[in-house]
Amino acid sequence: MFKKSNKTLFFISLDVEIHKMKKPFSVLLGFMLLFFVYHFPEFYNDFMLTATFKIGFLLIAWLVARIQHLKGLEGYGLKLSGKSVMNTLSGCCIGVLFFGLAVYISVWMGFENIEKVEGITVIGKNLPMLLLMTAVPSLAEDILTRGYLFGHLQSLKPVYWVLLSALVYVGNHIWRLNEGLDVLCYLFFFGIVLALAVQITQSLWLAFGIHWGANIAFESTHSFIQLHSVLKVNVSNWLLAAVWTFLSIVLFLVLRRKQQLAAQSPINKN
């Protein structure tokens, strides 16, 4: 007997989960619809069209969930509870902190220089719009690449679910897939981070917060802080990959500890 590889076990487990679905065609069709709605405005350089589709995505996602007998957006891990706001805010701080850490390391090591920082008046004037314009797309992508999988593949082993979600997240960046290994790496490990956040909390709020915070920090480095790369080779993406890898290790240990405590619980022993 030959021992099955982890790759083989992953696809076997995924195949089993697909066959467990009552209507796998409906699940696939729903994902394709959401994928189309999410990406359609990217073919046009129109702000109002983009805003309409991103907001409309949330409504269509709710409708798809109801048709598939899920509890609306709650079925995607967006159940409102006392922890929802706390998880979102905590995640937002984590996202800003770790993205900012990558920028700090880049500047500290001389890979980039800060050329200009906008004044408090400019930041205060533009920050509310920046927060709004990063929140809705972040939430929409979280539903597409994590929430939808959470709703339909909850019984998949956590390690396989995390890997699948990360791969879907990378694949969702259809316009960046040819930008190089550095981009693929930081997207993959960021996807791992966000998927682990879902597994730890069994909801989408912490992942959304981290994603939103990272996008806030990213947009801030373009809107409020002007950075100039000193090197011909862009190392900022590799630093991001390293930072997200470190955070993924931390979250993996948290998830592992949570699973160990759950296994030791008297309820599970009985």
Q: What pLDDT is attached to residue 161?
A: 96
Percentage of the chain surpassing pLDDT 90? Answer: 68
Q: Are 21 and 149 in contact (CB under 8 A)?
A: no
233 has pLDDT over 50 = yes
Q: What is the mean pLDDT of residues 252-256?
A: 96
Q: What is the mean pLDDT of residues 173-197?
A: 95
Confidence of residue 1 (pLDDT cuts 50, 70, 90): very low
Find out whether 169 and 146 touch, Cβ atoms under 8 Å: yes
Residue 235: the pLDDT is: 87
pLDDT digits (tens, 9 = 90+) for 70-92: 999 999 999 998 899 999 999 99
Other CB atoms within 10 Å distance of the CB of residue 151 = 24
pLDDT class for 14, splitting at 50, 70, 90? low
Tokens at 135, concatenated: 């929140």
Q: Which of 159, 191, 144 lies closest to 9, judged by CA?
A: 159
pLDDT at 92: 97
Residue 20 to residue 10: CA distance in whole angstroms: 15
CB burial readout 60-87, b (16+ within 10 A) else e: bbbebbeebebeebbbbbbbeeeebeeb
pLDDT digits (tens, 9 = 90+) for 91-104: 999 999 999 999 99
Give me the numbers of helices (H) and strands (E) for the chain, helices first please. 11, 2
Mean pLDDT for the stretch of residues 201-228:
94
pLDDT digits (tens, 9 = 90+) for 103-134: 999 999 988 888 889 899 999 999 999 999 99
User: Does an H or E element contain 257, and which?
Assistant: helix 236-263
Q: What is the mean pLDDT of residues 181-204?
A: 96
**pLDDT for 190:** 98
pLDDT at 248 over 60: yes
Query: Across the chain, what does the average pLDDT equal?
Result: 89
Helix (H, G, I), strand (E, B) or coil at 156: coil
pLDDT in tens, 48-74: 888 899 999 999 999 999 999 899 999
Mean pLDDT score, 28-43? 94
